[in-house]
Amino acid sequence: MKRFFQSIRIDKDSYETILISWCICAALIWLTAHFIHNPWISIPLSAIFVIFMVFITWFFRVPERTTPDYENDRLVTSVADGKVVIVEKTFEKEYLKRDCIQVSVYMDFFDVHCNFWPVNGKVTYYQYHPGKYLLAFHPKSSELNEHSSSCLQNRHGVVFFKQIAGTFARRIVCYSKPGNMENRGDQCGVIKFGSRIDLFLPLDAEIRVKLGDKVKAVESVIAVLPE
């Protein structure tokens, strides 16, 4: 058990969110104890606030994951935990400006929300886009919602992806810096609460997932780039 808790790491960009949540819950616990004198009500209510404090801390955990075949630059792994909701041919008009295979992963409230680089390569593009907060699975959320766009390139191809905010996700953190060399499986940012990742892959990439699949960041292979 001790080893288990020592292995838990909390996302460094989420400390403020956690602290604010803890302060609000602590204030609610104090108000409950001060104004509700019936223990059958005050104790369960306080317990709910404590459980929420634990959950919000656990929500921003950074899991320890091992990326498959680390030296293989052709592998594209999932940026996030979640469910595959789109696998289709589409035209990527922001940066690549060509037809691609889009693979989208939707994260619900209980998924790990830290994001990880999908491929080994050099960051060639980054752009932050302010926007709306439609439900993350809405077809137009990729264009209209707040999102950040990043592109990685290596000798096997180009991988473009978007971190998209949802209705409750009001902050996106992305570590993309054009010119940096990044390693598949390292953390590339975090999206707070429900959200979505859109991956845009070359048409000749071998797609390894299908609609409805549950994927895990770092460990699940989304596609294999051509040789």
Cα 76 to Cα 220: distance, rounded to the nearest angstrom: 9
Q: List, in sequence order, every residue forming a beta bridge with 76; answer none if it has no partner.
A: 223
* Residues belonging to the active site: 195
Describe the strand order of the beta sheet including 172-174 as a list of residue ranges: 114-116, 187-191, 172-174
Q: Are 109 and 193 in contact (CB under 8 A)?
A: yes
Q: Are 175 and 205 in contact (CB under 8 A)?
A: no
* Helix locations, 7-128, DSSP H: 15-35, 39-59
Cα 46 to Cα 25: distance, rounded to the nearest angstrom: 9
Amino acid, single-letter form, for residue 2: K
Cα 76 to Cα 209: distance, rounded to the nearest angstrom: 11
